[in-house]
């Protein structure tokens, strides 16, 4: 795989991969983390830790994009951008990441 320059498309691709990783962790689906720590599945705190790791990855890459002035916010809904900018993975983030539980009808968005 040789050296890859850190261009805007490259970093945005990594951001999208981190977003998918976080969403899979949020949905309790298989991620690379499961392969790294298969014994963790037996522990109740596993899913929380898995989500935390994926959230940290997402924040790190979004932060790098922000630092080098790459346009990263278009990859997310305005509400998701707000969650990322607040940086705290709260129950609100877990419950409303997809915005499916809010009261706004899809046609009104």
Domain span holding position 76:
8-102
CA 76 – CA 3 distance, rounded (Å): 28
pLDDT at 86 over 50: yes
pLDDT tens digit sequence for 20-59: 999 999 998 888 877 877 777 777 778 888 899 999 999 9
Given a contact cutoff of 8 angstroms between Cβ atoms, the answer to whether 49 and 37 are in contact is: no
Burial of residue 36 (number of CB atoms within 10 Å: 0-12, 13-18, 19+): exposed
CA 62 – CA 37 distance, rounded (Å): 25
| CB atoms inside a 10 Å sphere around CB 63 | 14
Instruction: Answer whether residue 89 is part of any domain.
Output: yes
Instruction: Answer whether residue 3 is part of any domain.
Output: no
Instruction: Answer whether residue 2 is part of any domain.
Output: no
- For the chain, give the number of residues: 109
Q: How many domains does the chain have?
A: 1
């Amino acid at each position: 795989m040789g050296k890859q320059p850190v261009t805007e498309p490259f970093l945005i691709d990594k951001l999208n991969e981190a977003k998918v990783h976080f969403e899979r962790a949020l949905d309790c689906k298989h991620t690379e983390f499961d392969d790294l720590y298969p014994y963790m599945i037996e522990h109740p705190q596993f899913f929380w830790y898995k989500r935390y790791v994926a959230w940290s990855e997402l924040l790190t890459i979004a932060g790098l994009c922000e630092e080098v002035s790459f346009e990263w916010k278009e990859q997310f809904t305005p509400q998701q951008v707000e969650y990322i900018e607040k940086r705290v993975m709260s129950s609100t983030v877990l419950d409303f990441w997809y915005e499916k539980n809010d009261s706004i009808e899809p046609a009104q968005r």
